[in-house]
Structures are given as C-alpha cells and as structure tokens.
C-alpha cells in the first residue's frame, strides 16, 4: 500500500514538473497562457490516504505583458477574447497570439498561415451585420481616399532654458520672431 502511495505522489510531482517546464519553455511565446496542475486525494469508500492524483491542469487567462513589437500588423487582446483563425480545410482555431502578416492574397494570416477571420461591417458608421458568416480579413492593395484633417490638438513642453528670440517685436510675417532655428 505504501509503495503505491509513493508512486502516485511521484507521478503527480512529475506531471507538475512537466507543467512548470512547459511554462518556462513558453515564457517568451506571444499569447501563451501558463498552466497550473491541481491535485486531489485518492480514496476508496471511507479509506483515505491512498495517494494523490492530478485533478486537472488549468490555464491562466489573465492578461500578460503587452509589448510593442514594432510590426504594424501585430495586435493584442486585452481582457477576454480570442482571434478566430481558419486553415485551408475550413477548420476553425482560436488563439491569443496576435502576430500577423499578409499572405500573397493580402489576407491577414498568423505565422503558421492560418487566416484571420471576422464579421463583415458595412455602413457609416460601420456596423457588424447580424447573422453574417465570418470572412477572411484582408487589406486591399489600393490607396484609400485622402481625408482632410479638420481639427488637431497638441500638448507640448517648451524648454525653459532656451534663449528668448532676438527679433522683437513679434511679427506674424517674420518667422525669426517666433521660430527657433536648429543648425
């Protein structure tokens, strides 16, 4: 009896080490969710102390660190949600990894070539069509129509140690009275 209890403990500890090793190996993987092994006592009827077993391995879905990758097509999901991906056979997959690139047809795909899908939006403002099927998300190869900027706001700090302009008084027609030239 004591031998089987010890073996069950070793097996549970080995599974826990596998989970920890997987967490460490994937610590730099974008979108990876760490796992935690949960344990339970084994007993038969009223007899306790028959050993331990792994009750399950749960994933931690809390947000990880969001970092700037410098790639224009990479995105991150905050809070709940997954990216919906489809392979060439139409099988659906879900992922939290937001690393995307364009394929030869300008569809957004992940690094394994699975296509990112989403629900089509139409109208102004764009709204998602109720009951529509998800479609591939693509970026057209055409230029978008230019739109004039109508408003802008800016917050700046001036360097208090800069010298005052030498041209006085201020004149809207003389740029030297309000611009600092950098040489």
Whole-angstrom Cα distance, residue 31 to residue 29?
Answer: 6
Biggest alpha carbon–alpha carbon distance for the chain: 98
The contacts of residue 96 (CB under 8 Å, 6+ apart) are 31, 32, 33, 77, 82, 83
At residue 103, the pLDDT reads 93
At residue 79, the pLDDT reads 77
Q: Report mean pLDDT in 10-residue bins for the chain, 183 residues.
A: 80 92 87 86 76 88 79 84 92 91 93 93 83 89 76 75 69 68 53
Q: What is the pTM of this model?
A: 0.57
Task: Name the residue ranges covered by the structural domains of the chain.
Answer: 1-59, 83-136
At residue 141, the pLDDT reads 82
């Amino acid at each position: 009896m004591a031998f089987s209890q010890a073996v069950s403990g070793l097996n549970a500890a080995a599974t826990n080490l596998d989970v920890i090793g997987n967490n460490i190996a994937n610590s730099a993987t974008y979108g990876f969710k760490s796992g935690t092994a949960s344990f339970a006592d084994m007993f038969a009827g009223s007899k306790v102390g028959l050993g331990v077993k792994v009750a399950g391995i749960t994933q931690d879905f809390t947000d990880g660190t969001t970092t700037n990758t410098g790639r224009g097509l990479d995105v991150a999901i905050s809070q709940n949600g997954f990216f919906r991906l489809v392979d060439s056979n139409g099988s659906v997959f879900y992922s939290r990894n937001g690393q995307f690139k364009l394929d030869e047809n300008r569809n957004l795909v992940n690094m394994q070539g699975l296509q990112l899908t989403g629900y089509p939006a139409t109208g102004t403002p764009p709204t998602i069509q109720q009951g529509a099927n998800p479609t591939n998300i693509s970026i057209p190869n055409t230029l978008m129509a230019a739109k004039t900027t109508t408003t802008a706001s800016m917050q700046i700090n001036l360097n208090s140690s800069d010298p005052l302009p030498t041209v006085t008084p201020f004149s809207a027609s003389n740029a030297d009275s309000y611009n600092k030239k950098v040489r």
